[in-house]
Amino acid sequence: MSTEQSTAADGFAYTLTRILDASVERVWRAWTTPELYARWAGAAGGSVEMDVRPGGAWKATMLTPDGRQFPLTGSYLEVIENRRLVIGMDVPDKPGPATMTVDLDEQDDQRTQIVLHQTCDTAAERDMAEQGSTMLLDSLSTFLTAQTSN
């Protein structure tokens, strides 16, 4: 996985790039199907709702390793099937949503490059978001590999 951090005029950004051993369609389904997303992203079963279209809402209750739960909500800002998701995430005490962009690029029939990008307001926020996104991509990769071997 490659990682890039930068400080832009409008905030602190990071970009994570990884090659996944799965087709673009399988990666898209894993990211946009509530039951599949809950299985790999660490969400409580039955808590994930997704209306995957521009302006559509999403929500999930995430589980921490120590058993705590925290709810997340947001909306889809841009949706290009099998290519791009721009996801707005509601953040308490913040005027607008945090925005994460997920781009998918087919490498061949069974491999996909995923590029995840987010800009944050502070270096500390960026570092925390990047750590969470790295864990998310690790889980996605493990999930897709396990699905292939089944």
pLDDT in tens, 88-136: 999 888 888 889 999 999 998 789 999 999 988 888 989 989 998 999 9
Q: Which domain holds residue 68?
A: 2-149
DSSP letters along 70-137, please? EEEEEEEEEEETTTEEEEEE--TT-SS-EEEEEEEEEEETTEEEEEEEEEESSHHHHHHHHHHHHHHH
Number of domains observed in the structure of the chain:
1
Query: What pLDDT, in 10s, does the model give residues 3-46?
Result: 555 555 457 899 999 999 999 999 999 999 999 999 999 999 89
Q: Which of the two residues, 100 and 2, has the higher pLDDT score?
A: 100
**38-53: string of b/e by CB count within 10 Å (b at 16+)?**
bbbbbbeeebbebebe
The CATH number that applies at residue 136 is 3.30.530.20
What is the per-residue pLDDT for 149? 63
What is the per-residue pLDDT for 4? 56
What is the per-residue pLDDT for 150? 56
What is the per-residue pLDDT for 119? 87
Report residue 65's pLDDT band, with 50, 70 and 90 as the boundaries: confident
